Amino acid sequence: MGKPCSSCAHREIAEWSVLKGAAVAHLDDARRSRHFLAGEAIYHEGDEATGVYCVSSGLVGIRKVDPDGESVLLRLVRPGQTFGYRSLLTGTPHGVSAEALKEGSICQVPAATVHRMAAENPALVMAFFRHLAQDMADAENKVMETVTASCRVRFLRLLLAFGGEADGDAGTRVSLELPVSRQDIASLIGVRSETMSRVIRAIEAEGLAHFKGRHVDIPDARRLADESFGSLAA
Amino acid sequence: MGKPCSSCAHREIAEWSVLKGAAVAHLDDARRSRHFLAGEAIYHEGDEATGVYCVSSGLVGIRKVDPDGESVLLRLVRPGQTFGYRSLLTGTPHGVSAEALKEGSICQVPAATVHRMAAENPALVMAFFRHLAQDMADAENKVMETVTASCRVRFLRLLLAFGGEADGDAGTRVSLELPVSRQDIASLIGVRSETMSRVIRAIEAEGLAHFKGRHVDIPDARRLADESFGSLAA
DNA sequence: TCGGGGTGTTGATTCAGATCAATTTCAGCA
DNA sequence: TGCTGAAATTGATCTGAATCAACACCCCGA
């Protein structure tokens, strides 16, 4: 059932890093790894939380759908990151759904184990608090962006985020792979896929970036970064 | 310096309700109450956290401004609620600013006290976690709304939220006071104030609600609620 | 009583992005 | 290897909300 947590490649990233000695063994003992195909649902909005999830490989999307069926991709969860802890710790049903966007395996730590560990180890709760605080900050930024920035700017910023903050001083060449489909990218910035296509075409035409399938080549990351700040230089 | 926390009207609402006996006395001893006029800043984005705030009376607005000066009102904090705990507990600068929207008094519990209490009382951290989890859920809903709903619908939902969930079965008459200026309401739903005016005029014309200054009268809350779900009946 | 600034309203116009409707491209698979 | 359905592109058109520009209102202080 995969490598033990103690030797997990991502061990120091996730909240579990605050656990020591015996607790890690317990974690290892309790967790169950499961394989997911792209598109498979991990849990749905309204489900009761049955544990905390930890992405081992692949990519997870956190989604929310409104009554009319409109679906918005709220954020991505990458290997080494946890999710689903919020509902578990507060004892409320999931307010969002989670699905695998890329095939991969995901560990689940059962509710009882998490609760016991949280009770014994306040630092673990604090670690989850930090994670949630970061997610909240991201959510606030997202609200700001959707309200104030054009879809073009939002997309440029997303590109920069995907490319990592590798913006060297001068014109740095960056190339990267889009982690998800264009439809999902559109959903991530809150526009229609048709609009997404047009935005990409425009950016391509300006030479800001070059797109081929999921591969993106950015000749001058600095220029792109400048553009992404609503035509306002630093 | 105001009533002691132990007899604060809002005591059972705030996170402090998990504290017992001596801890409450400590809280009382350490907290400082300060009066704020409408418009006064409590803290700014980027400031270091110096304590946790608790609204005793008045109304507080949490705001975020982007580099171009665009400002968005993210949420309101009402009497009995705490704010500013996120930055304090994570030890990061404030990512948002807080200002008094209505005159009132606000208690501050200094950083050292909060840290000590959090260390001694894991339930307090958990209480803040719950608060943050709720705020996060609200933020996610807000992202959904701004992406999927028209400004008209967003405003109707806000009205319902202000009116409390007092939607009796049939046509219930609800009347309420808008807690903030129309400019701020516009900022809260992410539209221009001109648009806000027009939306209000349209709603008035349809007889969905009647506006006079900050007073709102909703003859049939049920009808308004129905309208607020993108013309999709339950 | 007369400004005067903040708050709100109204109108004309523009524009970003949605919507509707066809294709085209491509990956998976029999 | 060709079929099939999903993903992506493209075009034409429409529209919700922003923008630009006046103007009304109202509370407050001189």
Is A148–B66 a contact, with Cβ atoms under 8 angstroms apart? yes
Q: Are strands A210-212 and A71-77 parallel, antiparallel or unpaired?
A: unpaired
**Spatial CA neighbour of B42 closest among B127, B102, B128, B125:** B102
Q: Of chain A residues 85-104, which have a CB less than 8 A from chain B?
A: 86, 89-90, 92, 95-96
Q: How far is A1 from chain B (nearest CA, A)?
A: 32
Q: What angle do CA A209, A215, A221 make, to 5 degrees?
A: 35
Strands ordered across the beta sheet of B51-55? B32-36, B104-110, B51-55, B82-83
Is A74–B140 a contact, with Cβ atoms under 8 angstroms apart? yes
Q: How far is A110 from chain B (nearest CA, A)?
A: 19
Q: Which chain B residue has the Cα nearest residue A72?
A: B144
Q: Does A131 contact chain B (CB < 8 Å)?
A: no
Cβ(A126)–Cβ(A54) below 8 Å = no
Please report where in the chains the tokens 């607790």 appear, as a residue: A23
Q: What angle do CA B55, B59, B65 make, to 5 degrees?
A: 105
Three-class SS state of A229 = coil
Q: How far is the CA of A194 from the C1' of C18 (A)?
A: 9
Q: Does A190 contact chain B (CB < 8 Å)?
A: yes
Q: Nearest CA to the C1' of C17 belongs to which residue?
A: A195
**Spatial CA neighbour of B51 closest among B101, B110, B7, B94:** B110
Chain B residues closer than 8 Å to A89 by CB:
126, 129, 133
Cβ(A183)–Cβ(B186) below 8 Å = no
The low-confidence residues of chain B, meaning pLDDT below 70, are 1-4, 6-7, 9, 12, 165-171, 230-234
Is A133–B130 a contact, with Cβ atoms under 8 angstroms apart? no
Is A148–B70 a contact, with Cβ atoms under 8 angstroms apart? yes
- Dump the DSSP string for A2-65: -S-GGG-TTTTTSGGGG--THHHHHHHHH-EEEEE-TT-EEE-TTPPP-EEEEE-SSEEEEEEE
Return the number of other C-beta atoms located less than 10 Å from residue A58's C-beta: 19
Whole-model pTM? 0.93
Three-class SS state of A226 = helix
Cβ(B54)–Cβ(B121) below 8 Å = no
Tens-digit pLDDT string for chain A (234 aa): 556 777 676 777 778 999 888 888 889 889 999 999 999 999 999 999 999 999 999 999 999 998 888 899 999 999 999 999 999 999 999 999 999 999 999 999 999 999 999 999 999 999 999 999 999 999 999 999 999 999 999 999 999 999 875 555 556 889 999 999 999 999 999 999 999 999 999 999 999 999 999 999 999 999 999 888 754 443
**DSSP, res A104:** E
Is A129–B125 a contact, with Cβ atoms under 8 angstroms apart? yes
Cβ(A200)–Cβ(A178) below 8 Å = no
Return the number of other C-beta atoms located less than 10 Å from residue A98's C-beta: 23
Q: What is the pLDDT of residue A233?
A: 41
**What Å distances lie between residue B234 and A3, A68, B211, B219, B223, CA to CA?**
48, 11, 27, 20, 12
Q: Nearest CA to the C1' of D25 belongs to which residue?
A: B213
CA distance A33 to A107: 4
**What Å distances lie between residue B24 and B16, B18, B32, B228, CA to CA?**
8, 9, 14, 43
Cβ(B59)–Cβ(B77) below 8 Å = yes
Q: Give the dihedral of Cα atoms A62, B153, B188, B11; nearest 10 deg.
A: -80
Is residue B206 packed enough to be buried (19+ CB in 10 Å), middle (13-18) or exposed (0-12)? exposed
Q: Of chain A residues 13-42, which have a CB less than 8 A from chain B?
A: none
Q: Nearest CA to the C1' of C26 belongs to which residue?
A: A213
Q: How far is B187 from chain A (nearest CA, A)?
A: 9
- In sequence order, what are the residues at sequence separation of 6 or more whose Cβ sits closer than 8 angstroms to the Cβ of residue B212? none
Domains, chain B, in order of start with CATH, read 5-136 (2.60.120.10), 148-227 (1.10.10.10)
Q: How far is the CA of A196 from the C1' of D11 (A)?
A: 15
Three-class SS state of A67 = coil
Q: What is the pLDDT of residue A192?
A: 97
Q: What is the pLDDT of residue B7?
A: 67
Q: Does A146 contact chain B (CB < 8 Å)?
A: yes
Strand C nucleotides below 7 A of a protein CB?
Answer: 7-12, 16-21, 27
